Structure 1
Amino acid sequence: MEGIDVEVTESATLVIVRAISEDFRAHVRGRLAEYCYGAVTVSEDLNFYSFEKTVAEFLRRYDPKPRTTQLGMAGELIVHVLMPLLHAELTSAAVYFNKEERSIKKGFDLTFLGSSDTAFWYGEVKSGEVSASSSADEKAASLIEIAASSLASMLDDAHHLSRWDAALNDTRLTLEGGYASTARELLRSDSETVRQGGAIRKRAVLAGAVMHELDHCEVTNEGMQQILDSISTGEDFADVRILVIQQDALEAVVEHLREVTIA
């Protein structure tokens, strides 16, 4: 896609968003409602869940939040938008919008059904800005480490199982037919295992949205490998996919959406 550089290894993907190109805009316009509400929901009433109405709802949620929360919301949105293009073997089963209220979504940030139909993946997204005294590699490593720790804790927590209820609800909004049935069966199995104090086979998608001016610094391939090596040598996950997205001006994505409500 024009304006986006992608470096892919077996388990890690580095994306540098250099510009919000027309291709990117077209992709967002065509799929934003599905990411926010779920493909099944949107297919039932395309007019009600139009792109323009979806943008307006995003901004109603985004604008009142403090800047750090806005960074997280926008970073997570970029991950939702780009994931289907970058990991075709994973079918998204997650909805971006929190359905009960206009607060930050509770539970798992991302959930996916694997291409084998026998694997379920859980994802966590962290976003942050690079300080003047730091580097993009350091920030990316920090974000992925926090995402890994947060997700591992959630997947071991037998006291707050409502996140699995939310994930099950998301499958009804995003998947159809056999895919939906398989995803719900896997989620219920994982939830019951954790409820009984057991350990599940944890497959993780860890995403970091690194915000900074690209002429200041960039994440390097060596930095990505160090992140991957660090996660792989741990014992938290049976399998992992790492996604790091660098964004020069995060506001450019949001301002593009804001233009829709003004036009």
Structure 2
Amino acid sequence: MIELIPGVTKEDYSDYVLYFIESLTEELKQEIRNRLVAVCHGVDQARSGRKIYSYKATVKEFIKRYKTSKNVSEERKKGMIGELLVHVILEMEGRFTTASPFFNMEERSFKKGYDVALFENKTNSLWITEVKSGEIQKGQKNASAAAIGLINTAKNDLKSRLNASNTSLWLNALNAAKVSMSDSNHQKDAVMKLLEQCADDSLEGNNSSDTFNVVLSATLFHPMSERIKATKVGQKYIRVVNENLFKKVYILIIQKETFEAVYNFLERETVDEK
């Protein structure tokens, strides 16, 4: 067990990693503050100095999206907080450069297409990420089973999308990369070329999931008194690899007790932030 920052520990097995958010410490809150604008809007926007891309405006926009109607489902709330935590953790770790913003650009609904496109800095390769978030479901006997259930859903979603001839998914990914990545980042051109090739292949019906690297991610909201077991995640990783659905697979799992604590923190920020 490694401490990433106070309040966040991880078990890293190279091909799969588990993060345990033990508490929403001041250090984690500060990481969220430092990264929120770039995560939600993109790097250049975060550096622009424009009021619309200020931390205060971004937090308020996050809250609006979270409360987009009076009857926002619990699943949407869990999904938003879960995906935000994945973005923040990925940014902290530095293995990948995020090539898609958290916010959907057109409206306050969920993004259409892939949750996150990632560029691996060491290998200059593209990774398509799907994030699933939730709590233990009826019939799931423990936290490990619940986490593996979320990973399975992510796997099936990507299998379906990456084998489909749906050019709009790749056009959305291209637009997202244009917004998210800095124009001064030399990696942006490489990402755009990779995504354009994916779009061309999709148009011609040549896309196949086994040509893509994927990150299958799950955020499980469950008491820390029962932790997800790395051995179970490792077994799931081997099963997914043996299905030969994807070129490479990386599994990222986060466990946190509740999703409300992160939202409550952000909501307080709209009042406290001057």
Match of 1:61 in 2: 65
CA shift, 1:173, in A, is 1.6
Query: Structure 1 length as normaliser, TM-score?
Result: 0.94
3-state SS of 1:218 partner: coil
1:221 aligns with 2:230: yes
The number of residue pairs the alignment matches comes to 260
Match of 1:199 in 2: 207
Could you list the per-position Cα deviations for residues 67-125 of structure 1 after superposition, in whole angstroms to 9, with x for gaps in the alignment? 11111111111111111223x22111011001111111111101011224641110000
Give 5+ residue unaligned stretches, structure 2.
Answer: none
3-state SS of 2:216 partner: strand
1:183-262 equivalences in 2 (<5 Å): 183-200=191-208, 201-215=211-225, 217-262=226-271
3-state SS of 1:235 partner: coil
Specify whether residues 92 and 195 from structure 1 end up closer, same or farther in structure 2 by C-alpha distance, changes over 3 A only.
Answer: same
2: CA distance between counterparts of 1:212 and 1:142? 14
Runs of 4+ aligned residues of structure 1 deviating over 4 Å after TM superposition are none
Could you list the per-position Cα deviations for residues 220-252 of structure 1 after superposition, in whole angstroms to 9, with x for gaps in the alignment? 111111121121111111101110100112111
Computed over aligned residues only, the root mean square deviation of the Cα atoms, in angstroms, reads 1.5
**Aligned residue type for 1:189:** Q
1: CA distance between counterparts of 2:252 and 2:270? 30
Contact 1:121 1:205 in 2 (8 A): yes
2: CA distance between counterparts of 1:60 and 1:119? 35
Contact 2:12 2:18 in 1 (8 A): yes
2: CA distance between counterparts of 1:37 and 1:62? 16
1:97 aligns with 2:103: yes
2: CA distance between counterparts of 1:188 and 1:118? 15
CA shift, 1:46, in A, is 4.6
1: CA distance between counterparts of 2:133 and 2:47? 31
**Aligned residue type for 2:202:** V
Contact 2:52 2:58 in 1 (8 A): no
Give 5+ residue unaligned stretches, structure 1.
Answer: none
CA shift, 1:47, in A, is 3.5
1: CA distance between counterparts of 2:167 and 2:260? 35
1: CA distance between counterparts of 2:233 and 2:61? 35
1:19 aligns with 2:26: no
3-state SS of 2:231 partner: helix
CA shift, 1:37, in A, is 0.6
Match of 1:34 in 2: 38
Query: Structure 2 length as normaliser, TM-score?
Result: 0.90
Identity of aligned residues (%): 29
2: CA distance between counterparts of 1:213 and 1:89? 28
3-state SS of 1:48 partner: helix
